Amino acid sequence: MRSLFIFFLLSVFTSCNVYKRYSVQIPFSESPVPPIPDYNKSISWAALPSTIDVADEMPNNSLKYGQDSASVDVFFVHPTIFTDEPKGKYKWNADVNDGAMNRKTDGSAIKYQASVFNVACRIYAPRYRQAHISAFYTSNLNDKRNSLDTAYSDVKKSFEYYLAHYNNGRPIIIASHSQGTIHALRLLQDCFDNKPLQKQLVCAYLVGMPIAKDSFCCIAPCQGATETTCWISWNTFAYNYYPTYYKYGMNNAVCTNPLSWKTDSIYCDYSLNSGGLLKKFNKIFPSICDARVQGGMLWINQPDFLGANILNWKIYHVIDYGLFYMNIRKNVEDRCTAYLKGKK
């Protein structure tokens, strides 16, 4: 039942061409599969506490950096970076040994998303054979399933390696965006939901994909800023905008407002936004946007930065984290503090 629900989620983007750039022209069965990553090697990780990487960076050096003394780990699964036309022999899944792909991943998702957790967590972010973006709009369900299953097999394997070699019983945050959230959802279902590891779960940030309330039997959506052993999710759109794929899952999604950390529909003003990030990592935009939950979506009015009126975006998927960077950062610290206090 749960695997069916996962692929139902994928249909959200099946008819959407917003992120479509280049499609894979051959079936999955005719495309070589990249080699399985070796998670014993640090090169198979985009971020590790023991290495110097972009997840260590902060947009402002005056911010608190807590990774060195953190009592909590975050396992972060990055979104789809494999969006260009595949030039090499691997078409449906990316090779973790592709240096150009890795640099692109590090300079985007790891720097602008995973880094938000360095306030209070040790960051673990595996490289994995991510599915090409074609997997999200192909009509061939076998290609879709095989490509995403290949990606998830790496995520699960890397998490099992993390548990065996790094975790040592420490509290865990699961965090993700977009494709990463599809894999993080399955990981939570397989390893945490109604299982002993659930006790170690601080919370899960499942951002950039619609997550239904009944996705888990025993892990509920968070209802407040310091609640733990729960999950958070949002997808950001312009006010009054309904995407064409709304009825395929977004209408049944749980949405958290990252300015209040509640799932109600109470409007949160720009003043509640502590600051967001855009293209320049070292520039924080205070009060960049407002937010209100509407029908499973997070609606925002036009963001407050120079040129926002020219962009006239309707879908803010690529900056789901960026728009609320400073609020997320504080919430991570607050939830870690609450979890550790509860354990004491």
Structure confidence by residue, pLDDT tens digits, 61-76: 899 999 999 999 999 9
**Residues forming beta bridges with residue 230, ordered by sequence position:** 203, 220
Domain count, the chain: 1
Alpha carbon distance 240, 227 (integer Å): 30
Q: Which two tokens stand for residue 40?
A: 């014993």
Structure confidence by residue, pLDDT tens digits, 74-116: 999 999 999 998 888 999 999 999 999 999 999 999 999 999 9
The pLDDT-based confidence of 311 (bands split at 50, 70, 90) is confident
Q: Could you list the residue range(s) of the whole structural domain that residue 91 is in? A: 2-343
Provide the pLDDT for residue 72.
Answer: 98
φ, ψ at 161 (rounded to 5°)? -65, -45
Name the nearest CA neighbour of 28 among 180, 150, 179, 182: 150
Q: Which two tokens stand for residue 114?
A: 């995973």
Report yes or no: 193 and 174 within 8 Å, Cβ to Cβ: no
Structure confidence by residue, pLDDT tens digits, 165-212: 999 999 999 999 999 999 999 999 999 999 999 999 999 999 999 999
Provide the pLDDT for residue 20.
Answer: 52
* Distance from chain centroid for Cα 70: 21
| Arithmetic mean of pLDDT, 17-41 | 84
**Residues forming beta bridges with residue 93, ordered by sequence position:** 131
Provide the pLDDT for residue 6.
Answer: 42
Confidence check: pLDDT of 1 > 50: no
Name the nearest CA neighbour of 105 among 47, 29, 169, 175: 47
Q: What is the pTM of this model?
A: 0.94
Alpha carbon distance 119, 117 (integer Å): 5
Which DSSP helix (H) or strand (E) runs through 72?
strand 72-77
Confidence check: pLDDT of 337 > 80: yes
Please identify which residue in the block is written with the tokens 């003003």.
269
Q: Which two tokens stand for residue 300?
A: 């925002």
Report yes or no: 136 and 13 within 8 Å, Cβ to Cβ: yes
Report yes or no: 180 and 187 within 8 Å, Cβ to Cβ: no
